[in-house]
Amino acid sequence: MIEVLLEYLAKGFLIMLSISMPCVLCAAGIGLVVGILQAVTQVQEQTIAAAPKILGVFLVIIIGGVGFIKLLTNLFSEGMVLAFDTIPKADTFVLDSNYYKYTTPFEREMHDKFKNVDSINEIMKNPGKVPYIDSYGSKKYFAAPKNAMPKPNLVETKKILGR
């Protein structure tokens, strides 16, 4: 199934290149011609080079626009078939209904109690009292890093401002 997804990704990159390549080649060709004309006439104006490029890319998009839209529409519909038809039918991608019984993420963290608060009701009653896991962690401050232009951390900034 991963091969199908990687193939779809590769197809998306190829479509991206096939849509952008005519525009890029047109802009490069016009830039080369305008550059040669500017070198021959010795007129070095930036806007002279930009206007024909914009016009040329605009014409390429108008001429190839229907084809570009068909390519993108086909890619989108193929992606929808993959997302809603192919992948859900693959047994290897569907998790078992009791999958959660075999995984215990953050089990230890879920059973920790806050040291300064008895329960969640205490937190709700005292919104200004910040809960913490251990008392040492709530009082630990680090000095600002020592570099060429050190920026004070929160504690040092409060001391400087006198708060």
How does the average pLDDT of the chain come out, rounded?
77
Length of the chain: 163
Give me the residue label for tokens 């930009």: 50
| CA–CA–CA angle 111, 115, 116 (5° rounding) | 135
Q: Determine the Cα–Cα distance for residues 100 and 92; give it in Å rounded to an integer.
A: 17
User: How do residues 10-59 score in pLDDT, each as one tens digit?
Assistant: 999 999 999 999 999 999 999 999 989 888 988 887 778 888 999 999 99
Task: Please compute the mean of the pLDDT values over residues 145-158 and round it to a whole number.
Answer: 67
Q: Using CB atoms within 10 A of its CB, is residue 75 exposed (0-12), middle (13-18) or buried (19+)?
A: middle
